[in-house]
Amino acid sequence: MSTPVLNLRTRTISHLDHDLLAFLVDRQTRNLSPRTVAYYREKLTPFVAWCRQDDVDSLQALTAHHLRLYLIQLKNDGHNPGGCHAAYRAIRAWLRWYEAEYEPQDWRNPISRVPAPRVPLETLEPVSIATIKAMLATCKPRTYMGDRDKAIILALLDTGCRASEFVALDMADLDMQTGTAIIRHGKGGKARAVFFGAKARRAVMRYLRHGIDGALWQTGQRTRLTYSGLRQIMRKRAKRAGIAAPSLHSFRRAFAINSLRNGIDIISLQRILGHSDLSVIQRYLAQTTDDLAKAHSATSPVDKML
């Protein structure tokens, strides 16, 4: 997905429009992903429209009261807590950019007086191993589609990649000897390493024998697989297996919880997932009662008493 360069001189625009366009240009020049720039545009455009309706014609005219009213309006319009929080984050980033960019005299950023909306900490369900096995059973060996889809299912689970990162991988990013792949443009533009285990690597090797070059994951027409194409593969395999189709992100959750169960330390897990904040990982770790019981059994203070 490409993002066009924004032009500030195409027409006469309001202060709010000008500042929004300038902010989006700044995000582009920071080499943020097109998806991230699109996220800011998607969240801030309706906010600008709302400001106009409330006769707010510039960011300096914006008050904490306006921000609170907008968040209430989002809730009343049916946005869930996560959607309200996403809009708040975009507005916060815009206002902080404006403050740093223009350093307006005698202006206090109103976002400093409006705390972020609370988001309930709900555990997110991972794709089950039973679902993975059922989907793998539909992949016919020694066929392009069968070998490709098996490699995709195992690699998506084994690397913990975001789906957008996964489809962006090139052959040049992958070292098959070590099983290391480089995510060159992760969330926030950060690069990191992810890893293919021995079984996932063998599946990828069988897929590569079909003559893959350039993009790592390809369609039947040998063009780069897209996000929607990856989602369609999962739906097709789930349908053939007679099960509900898992979401792409549920593979990432499954990587997190199963890695934790298998003994990975939390810092290594954070680095592989590409999270800057440990608190984010908590949403992936849908630990069962059995997990907690085993953890307690291994660390019980009374049982460990001399």
- Residues 107 and 134 grouped into a single domain: no
Structure tokens at 34: 């097109």
Res 10: pLDDT: 41
Res 121: pLDDT: 62
Res 102: pLDDT: 92
CATH, residue 260: 1.10.443.10
The rounded average pLDDT for each run of 10 residues, N- to C-terminus, in the chain (306 residues) is 45 76 94 86 96 92 96 94 93 96 92 90 79 97 97 96 95 94 82 94 97 96 96 97 95 89 85 77 59 70 69
- Residues 107 and 58 grouped into a single domain: yes
218 has which bridge partners?
224
Domain holding 285, by residue range, is 129-295
Residue 30 forms part of a structural domain: yes
Res 287: pLDDT: 53
Pairing of strands 192-195, 174-175: unpaired
- What is the count of structural domains for the chain? 2
- Within a 10 A sphere around the Cβ of 264, how many other Cβ atoms? 15
- Residues 51 and 89 grouped into a single domain: yes
Residue 300 forms part of a structural domain: no
- Residues 89 and 226 grouped into a single domain: no
Res 289: pLDDT: 53
The end-to-end CA distance of the chain, in Å, is: 62
- Residues 216 and 242 grouped into a single domain: yes
DSSP-assigned states of every residue in the chain: ---PPP-TTSS---HHHHHHHHHHHHHHHTT--HHHHHHHHHHHHHHHHHHHHTT--SGGG--HHHHHHHHHHHHHTT--HHHHHHHHHHHHHHHHHHHHHH--TT---GGGGSPPPP------PPPPHHHHHHHHTTS-TTSHHHHHHHHHHHHHHHH---HHHHHT-BGGGEETTTTEEEESS-GGG--EEEE--HHHHHHHHHHHTTT--SBSSB-TTSSBPPHHHHHHHHHHHHHHHTSPPPPTHHHHHHHHHHHHHTT--HHHHHHHHT-S-HHHHTTT----HHHHHHHHHHH-TTTT--
pTM value is 0.67
